[in-house]
Amino acid sequence: ETGVTQSPTHLIKTRGQQVTLRCSSQSGHNTVSWYQQALGQGPQFIFQYYREEENGRGNFPPRFSGLQFPNYSSELNVNALELDDSALYLCASGAGTISYTFGSGTRLTVV
Amino acid sequence: AQRVTQPEKLLSVFKGAPVELKCNYSYSGSPELFWYVQYSRQRLQLLLRHISRESIKGFTADLNKGETSFHLKKPFAQEEDSAMYYCALSGGGSQGNLIFGKGTKLSVKP
């Protein structure tokens, strides 16, 4: 059984650019959630995907978008990057009442 | 508004001392409460959830709806308990939509 894997682990982008982060869900999990964790803060819910559809969204602007693929893996896309987007982005997968499993995260730095 | 408050950023205790990590929440309805832990250089992982009413690694937490609290307790702290602890709530019926507190860093000194 494999856990949740995220790629890349780190990346640096310039303000105004676009970025795509990837997440492979744990085997048997059909739902993926994305979180943003700024320095010194707890994770903040961005959105959740279930059966390739967005199934819940937090207080994030439309430039944060996502995809879920038939194999339940997922992407988080952020357009028009801002300095405040610098954070650790966490992916978590789960199914039904099974507790969610978190990935190690992608550290995004916007300069 | 739905909110989770962890009033202490840092809690430092000596090995063998009791530990209580505080968590208060604001939610209209019946939330599900969780404690997550992040050890150094490891990923966030579930420690316990209130509906399970189980003890994990000696930690327990009781949901007090009157005080809207879900404090995490352990009678005798161990050095390996040093970590970042996050309280979280789920109100939307999905564990994937969690509201986290800012976390408390627990440091257990020898």
Q: What is the pLDDT of residue B92?
A: 63
Task: Tell whether A5 is within 8 A of chain B (Cβ).
Answer: no
* Closest chain B residue to A92, measured at CA: B96
Tens of pLDDT, residue by residue over A20-40, are 999 999 888 889 999 999 999
Q: What is the pLDDT of residue B54?
A: 76
CB contact under 8 A, A42 and B92: no
Token code pair at residue B95 = 């564990």
**Phi and psi at residue B109, to the nearest 5°:** -95, 145
Average pLDDT value for residue range A55-73: 94
Residues in a beta bridge with A5: A24
Asked if residues B24 and B89 have their Cβ atoms less than 8 Å apart, the reply is no
Q: What is the pLDDT of residue B94?
A: 66
Q: What is the mean pLDDT of chain A?
A: 93
Pick A45's closest partner by Cβ from B44, B45, B97: B97
CA atoms of A47 and A65, how far apart (whole Å):
8
CB contact under 8 A, B97 and A48: yes
Q: What is the pLDDT of residue B93?
A: 58
Q: Which residues of A touch B35 (CB under 8 A)?
A: none
Pick A90's closest partner by Cβ from B4, B44, B92: B44
pLDDT at A98 over 60: yes
CA atoms of A15 and A13, how far apart (whole Å):
7
**Phi and psi at residue B56, to the nearest 5°:** -120, 125
Q: What is the pLDDT of residue B30?
A: 81
Q: What is the pLDDT of residue A19?
A: 98
CA distance B14 to chain A (A): 24
Task: Tell whether A2 is within 8 A of chain B (Cβ).
Answer: no
Q: What is the pLDDT of residue A82?
A: 98
Tens of pLDDT, residue by residue over B15-33, are 999 999 999 999 887 888 9
Tens of pLDDT, residue by residue over B96-105, are 789 999 999 9
CB contact under 8 A, A56 and B97: yes
pLDDT at B1 over 90: no
Asked if residues B34 and B88 have their Cβ atoms less than 8 Å apart, the reply is yes
Tens of pLDDT, residue by residue over B55-73, are 789 999 989 989 999 999 9
Average pLDDT value for residue range A76-100: 92
